[in-house]
């Protein structure tokens, strides 16, 4: 999270298969202290703070699974793409605010052009810097929310890392077991 992103993201290579990783994540979330919630599917998982501890700025950790890039012609493990984001309703609200501010700025610019055409002072052009300033404040508020949710982001990441460690350990055990079979 060193660089400024509204929705920080990272990727992790994990040996093994999706089913094992999802099972390990589900077990890890079930045992988490303080408790967490999750939605677990084979292609997509979401880790979240439970409703009892959730605030407006609480994040979710969105996980998608892809086959890892091939090495020596074979797929070896998974690439897990991870995204910290606000709940979908909060993110939709941000997108809506940006859309409204964009429309306000464009309308002000068009009205200002009409004022110039009519020989009036183009006061409507002030809508453009006002919309830009409000958009900058909205953008900055996302970082304030991230700062407020930092402990929860670390909690989600710590739980994810524990699940990945368990899946890696299971993959090593499976690999050893396969190597002893004839």
Query: Along the 182 residues of the chain, how does pLDDT read in single tens digits?
Result: 456 677 888 999 888 888 889 999 999 999 988 899 999 988 899 999 999 999 988 999 999 998 877 666 555 788 899 999 888 888 899 899 999 999 999 999 999 999 999 999 999 999 999 999 999 999 998 888 888 989 999 999 999 999 999 988 887 887 776 655 55
**Percent composition of the chain: helix, strand, coil (DSSP 3-state, to 5):** 55, 20, 25
Q: What pTM does this model have?
A: 0.78
Distance from C-alpha of 161 to C-alpha of 159, rounded to nearest angstrom: 5
Only one residue has tokens 């958009």, namely: 135
């Amino acid at each position: 999270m060193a660089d400024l992103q509204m929705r920080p993201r990272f990727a992790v290579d994990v040996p093994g298969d999706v089913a094992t990783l999802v099972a390990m994540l589900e077990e890890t979330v079930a045992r988490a202290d303080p408790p967490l919630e999750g939605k677990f599917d084979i292609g997509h998982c979401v880790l979240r703070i439970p409703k009892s501890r959730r605030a407006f700025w609480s994040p979710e950790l969105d996980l998608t699974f892809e086959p890892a890039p091939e090495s020596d012609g074979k797929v070896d493990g998974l690439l897990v793409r991870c995204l910290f984001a606000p709940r979908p309703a909060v993110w939709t609200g941000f997108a809506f605010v940006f859309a409204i501010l964009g429309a306000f700025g464009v309308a002000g610019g068009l009205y200002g052009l009409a004022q110039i055409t009519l020989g009036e002072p183009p006061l409507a052009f002030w809508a453009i810097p006002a919309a830009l300033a409000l958009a900058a404040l909205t953008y900055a508020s996302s970082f304030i929310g991230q700062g407020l949710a930092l402990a929860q982001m670390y909690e989600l990441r710590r739980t994810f890392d524990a699940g990945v460690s368990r899946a890696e350990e299971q993959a090593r055990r499976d690999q050893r077991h396969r190597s002893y079979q004839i």
